[in-house]
């Protein structure tokens, strides 16, 4: 089985998928943080393609950066400056060739993540 990485972002405050949320993927090696890809969620809160497809999959440490503040601004969430949640980095490891799913449950004042399926 080839490994790959996906996500799903849900806006739990509004009860809808988080459409239009920018996500960046970084590969972490020691002190180096290398940008691999930038994607935006579709109307289902997912990316149109795997964040890291099987052809580019490698084990190691990665970071997904969710640009929550920009999404909250665009979704009509009442503004505040600075936003309580603006940029949400989630650093995680992928140790074997498998499907890694890193979802984000988002509200203006909290978030949750887990390894999904």
pLDDT per residue over 38-90, tens digit each?
A: 999 999 999 999 999 999 999 999 999 999 999 999 999 998 999 999 999 99
**Tens digit of each residue's pLDDT (9 = 90 or more) over 87-117:** 999 999 999 999 999 999 999 999 999 999 8
pLDDT of 27 over the 80 cut? yes
- Write 88-91 long-range contacts (CB < 8 A, 24+): 89/63, 89/64, 89/65, 90/63, 90/64, 90/65, 90/66, 91/28, 91/61, 91/62, 91/63
* Length of the chain as a residue count: 117
pLDDT at 1: 63
Sign of CA dihedral 26, 29, 31, 32: negative
CA distances 1 to 18, 22, 41, 55, Å, are: 30, 29, 26, 12
- pTM above the 0.85 mark? yes
């Amino acid at each position: 089985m080839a490994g790959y990485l996906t996500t799903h972002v849900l806006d739990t405050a509004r009860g809808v998928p988080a459409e239009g949320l920018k996500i960046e993927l970084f590969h972490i090696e020691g002190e180096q943080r290398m940008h691999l890809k930038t994607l935006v969620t579709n109307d289902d809160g997912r990316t149109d393609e795997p964040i890291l497809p099987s052809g580019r999959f490698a084990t190691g440490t990665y970071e997904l950066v969710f640009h929550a503040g920009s999404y909250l601004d665009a979704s009509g969430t009442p503004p505040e400056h600075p936003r309580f949640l603006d940029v949400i980095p989630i650093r995680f490891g992928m140790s074997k060739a498998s499907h890694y799913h890193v979802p984000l449950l988002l509200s203006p004042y909290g978030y949750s993540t887990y390894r999904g399926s």
